[in-house]
Amino acid sequence: MGDLRFDGRVVVVTGAGAGLGRAYALLFGSRGAKVVVNDLGGGRHGDGKSSSAADAVVEEIKRNGGTAVADYNSVVDGEKVIKTALDNFGRVDVLINNAGILRDKSFARISDQDWDLVHAVHLKGSFKTTQAAFPIFKKQGYGRIIMTSSNSGLYGNFGQANYSAAKMGLVGLASTIAIEGAKNNIHCNVIVPTAASRLTEDILPPDLYAELKPELIAPVVAYLCHESCTENGSIIESAAGWAGKCQIIRSNGSLLRTKITDGVSVENVRDKWQKVTSMSNAEHLDSIQEATGALMTSLDSLRSGE
Ligand code: NAD
């Protein structure tokens, strides 16, 4: 099997002036893609702006023999980011939604601004860029989208309620885009990275930090975006040269009443609680139809009195 290349493909990476985005942009650039290096160049809390971050990565890609252009728009103006791809390269094939900021506070101290800014960059920004690219992907019958979530979203993390909510929102966004895009060969997957960057330099222990190179995650993201990769609607966690798939699982559950004519009392719930919450036979459901199907089966068994 040959090398996986991106010749002729145009790849937009948001927040590509540093950290993970920079590693993605450099890898795509080294594999033949034309890269739009988007970065607002602000501080880690969403303050300020500068063109130097994106420019430095464009220079690095060009020095290595690749093709790239800088874009300094905020992802909140997603249509402008995609326009940069169209104006410079005439097409767009891959969109990596990676730009991010943090405004960590314990839940009780989160201001409206802390909430709104984090949601604007992560969730609204990913919505805006993706909505601008989607009709182009549809028309050409090809597109690859990455959303960037976080273990803080999947599991929660002290001091990151605003960020956790936005990051879990991206999982929902990706799940629906994956369904809507599938028939047009548009795949949307979620990456859950853990990497050394300015967002994590004061969070991760120093010995772990040294091992968490963004370059070790970039190949996972690149593979997900290759035309040969069939993965769609998945959550892929990656760090330190490791990758795995995450899924939401559901317990087998329990009927809370014995006859279709019965109601459900609070005591019925208490008495069945152990079975409701037992994860011993937990399973992953692939779709909302599967969830509805399972509900119908439960109702059928109630009706037949089994
Ligand atoms: P980073 O701060 O090094 O990079 C983020 C980049 O996004 C910065 O260069 C910043 O200027 C840019 N940016 C911020 N707001 C922007 C906006 N409105 N428009 C365009 N660009 C903007 O951080 P990183 O660790 O490389 O994070 C990349 C992504 O990965 C983020 O979405 C982050 O939440 C996510 N993530 C990172 C980790 C980790 O361990 N580093 C863990 C989970 C999730």
Q: Report CA(228)–ligand 1 centroid distance (Å).
A: 27
Whether residue 155 lies in the annotated active site: no
Helix ranges (H only) for 90-160 are: 112-119, 125-140, 151-155
Is the CB of residue 150 below 6 angstroms from any atom belonging to ligand 1?
yes
Q: Give the whole-angstrom CA distance, residue 197 versus residue 194.
A: 9
Is pLDDT at 98 greater than 70 in this prediction? Answer: yes
What mean pLDDT comes out for the span 47-51? 89
- Confidence category of residue 289, pLDDT binned at 50, 70, 90: very high
User: pLDDT per residue over 234-282, tens digit each?
Assistant: 999 999 999 999 999 999 999 999 999 999 999 999 999 999 999 999 9
pLDDT at 306: 62
Distances in whole angstroms, Cα of residue 266 to Cα of each of 27, 261, 270: 56, 17, 6
Q: 166 with 216: CB under 8 angstroms?
A: no
Q: 184 with 133: CB under 8 angstroms?
A: no
**246 CB contacts (<8 Å, ≥6 apart)?**
154, 192, 235, 236, 237
Q: Report CA(254)–ligand 1 centroid distance (Å).
A: 42
Is pLDDT at 218 greater than 80 in this prediction? Answer: yes
- Confidence category of residue 286, pLDDT binned at 50, 70, 90: very high
Q: Report CA(192)–ligand 1 centroid distance (Å).
A: 12
What mean pLDDT comes out for the span 217-229? 98
pLDDT at 253: 95
What mean pLDDT comes out for the span 122-148? 98
ipTM higher than 0.90? yes
Q: 46 with 40: CB under 8 angstroms?
A: no
Q: Report CA(108)–ligand 1 centroid distance (Å).
A: 24
Q: 129 with 84: CB under 8 angstroms?
A: no
pLDDT at 207: 87
Average pLDDT of every residue of the chain: 96
CA Rg value for the chain: 22
- Confidence category of residue 305, pLDDT binned at 50, 70, 90: confident
Distances in whole angstroms, Cα of residue 171 to Cα of each of 114, 265, 268, 272, 284: 21, 34, 34, 31, 15
Which candidate in 72, 163, 209, 223 is catalytic? 163
Provide the percentage of residues in the chain whose pLDDT is more than 70: 100
Query: Which atom of ligand 1 is nearest to 41's Cα?
Result: 11
Is pLDDT at 88 greater than 80 in this prediction? Answer: yes
Choice from 39, 155, 168, 208 to test ligand 1 binding pocket (greatest atom count within 8 A of CB): 39
Is pLDDT at 210 greater than 90 in this prediction? Answer: no
Is pLDDT at 22 greater than 80 in this prediction? Answer: yes
List the single range of 11-25, 31-45, 199-213, 222-236 with lowest mean pLDDT.
199-213
Q: Give the whole-angstrom CA distance, residue 38 versus residue 98.
A: 10
User: pLDDT per residue over 4-14, tens digit each?
Assistant: 999 999 999 99
Of 16, 56, 49, the residue nearest 35 (C-alpha): 16
Choice from 98, 123, 194, 235 to test ligand 1 binding pocket (greatest atom count within 8 A of CB): 98
Q: 9 with 67: CB under 8 angstroms?
A: no
- Confidence category of residue 121, pLDDT binned at 50, 70, 90: very high
- Tokens coding 63: 């020095």
- Tokens coding 45: 């809390």
